[in-house]
């Protein structure tokens, strides 16, 4: 038996009480709150990176992975607390009851998407794949956790949500995707083409999973599994960062066109990854639109 979602249950919850209450300059309050949260949680993310990034070079071990996970969990807990205080709600985007299933689904989707992209590179004849070999996975697990959890919290729960509160869905989608791509320009071997690819295939696609569910868990799973599968399973560079420990080893063949192979940045800048990521983005965004989540949940009436 199903029931129709009506009234203040329809649409995406982007905040509508206390600091985000209806009234003059709501858009400016939303932007100010967004900037404050962005700075705060970028600091938390930097703490996770201080543990995870050195592991990516030396291999790491389980205790360091647990330390990264603890920092990310603390960050999510802090987010729930400040949203409760400033917005007068417990964040639906972190609904723990939905986490196990949605996170698992996201992990499967992310692994399949990245594997499809690498498979396309192999079939096009522009990638060499060798292995398997003995390798520890702890460093890549830590990297996948900190990027999946913290980048999704910052980019989707903070930037996308509050830009949507301020300006509506389309400016929010475009700006957060463009910024997500631009931030990757700081990575090794980055190019404008790679940044544009990240913006479209990942920025829009990951936003789509958040909009579809109204929660972060599926996008966290897709993001984390994409990075882990790319780095440890296939042994390809992750957003321009070469891996030192991997099960397989994948790299572009000498002379392969960079627009096809992604070059030194890795599969994310390749044509197959663009095709896979863009197709999934279109499908998921369409489903989110059909579900009515391209609009903010209306303000409560009294």
**Average pLDDT of each block of 10 consecutive residues along the chain (302 residues)?**
50 96 95 97 91 70 89 96 97 97 98 97 96 91 95 98 97 97 94 95 97 98 98 95 92 94 95 97 97 92 51
The confidence score (pLDDT) of residue 300 equals 75
- With contact defined as beta carbons under 8 Å apart, do 188 and 240 qualify? yes
DSSP assigned state of 295: S
Q: How many helices (H) and strands (E) does the chain have?
A: 12, 2
Torsion sign across C-alpha atoms 124, 112, 66, 37: positive
Q: CA-CA distance, 218 to 224, in Å (whole number)?
A: 10
Q: CA-CA distance, 72 to 65, in Å (whole number)?
A: 11
The confidence score (pLDDT) of residue 244 equals 86
138-146 and 217-228 helices cross at what angle (nearest 10)?
A: 150
Backbone angles phi, psi at 249, to 5 degrees: -125, 120
The confidence score (pLDDT) of residue 56 equals 64
End-to-end Cα distance, the chain: 30
Backbone angles phi, psi at 301, to 5 degrees: -105, 150
- With contact defined as beta carbons under 8 Å apart, do 94 and 77 qualify? no
The confidence score (pLDDT) of residue 60 equals 72
User: Per-residue b/e over 63-76, b at no fewer than 16 CB within 10 Å?
Assistant: ebbebbbebbeebb
Backbone angles phi, psi at 89, to 5 degrees: -155, 150
- With contact defined as beta carbons under 8 Å apart, do 218 and 103 qualify? yes
Q: Please give the C-alpha separations between residue 126 and each of 120, 129, 197, 244, 248, in angstroms, as whole numbers.
A: 9, 10, 18, 21, 16
Enumerate residues 6+ apart whose C-beta is below 8 A from 2: none
Q: Which of 302, 300, 108 is nearest to 217 (CA)?
A: 108
Q: Which two three-digit tokens encode residue 13?
A: 């919850």
- With contact defined as beta carbons under 8 Å apart, do 219 and 206 qualify? yes
Beta bridge partners of 127: 252
DSSP assigned state of 298: P
pTM: 0.94
User: Per-residue b/e over 77-109, b at no fewer than 16 CB within 10 Å?
Assistant: eebbebbeebbeeebebbeeebbeebbebbbeb
The confidence score (pLDDT) of residue 168 equals 97
Enumerate residues 6+ apart whose C-beta is below 8 A from 263: 189, 191, 194, 252, 269
CB count within 10 Å of CB 123 equals 10
CB count within 10 Å of CB 137 equals 18
């Amino acid at each position: 038996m199903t029931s129709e979602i009506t009234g203040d249950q329809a649409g995406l919850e982007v905040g509508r009480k206390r600091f985000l209450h209806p009234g003059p300059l709501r858009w400016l309050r939303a932007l100010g709150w967004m900037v404050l949260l962005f700075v705060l949680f970028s600091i938390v993310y930097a703490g996770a990176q201080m543990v995870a990034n050195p592991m990516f070079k030396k291999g790491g071990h389980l205790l360091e992975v647990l330390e990264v996970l603890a920092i990310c969990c603390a960050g999510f807990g802090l987010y729930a607390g400040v949203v409760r205080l400033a917005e007068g709600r417990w964040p639906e985007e972190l609904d723990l009851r939905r986490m196990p299933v949605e996170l698992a689904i996201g992990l499967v989707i992310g692994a399949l998407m990245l594997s499809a992209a690498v498979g396309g590179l192999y079939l096009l004849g522009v990638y060499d794949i060798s292995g398997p070999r003995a390798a520890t996975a702890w460093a890549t697990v830590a990297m996948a956790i900190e990027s999946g959890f913290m980048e999704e919290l910052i980019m989707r729960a903070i930037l996308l949500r509050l830009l949507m509160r301020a300006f509506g869905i389309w400016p929010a989608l475009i700006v957060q995707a463009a910024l997500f791509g631009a931030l990757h320009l700081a990575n090794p071997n980055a190019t404008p083409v790679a940044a544009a690819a990240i913006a479209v295939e990942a920025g829009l696609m990951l936003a789509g999973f958040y909009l579809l569910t109204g929660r972060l868990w599926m996008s966290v799973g897709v993001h984390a599994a994409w990075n882990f599968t790319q780095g440890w399973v296939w042994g390809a560079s992750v957003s321009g960062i070469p891996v030192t420990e991997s099960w397989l080893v994948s790299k572009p063949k000498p002379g392969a066109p960079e627009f096809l192979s992604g070059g030194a940045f890795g599969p994310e800048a390749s044509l197959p990854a663009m095709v896979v990521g863009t197709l999934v983005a279109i499908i998921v965004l369409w489903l989110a639109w059909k579900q009515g989540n391209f609009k903010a949940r209306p303000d409560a009436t009294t």
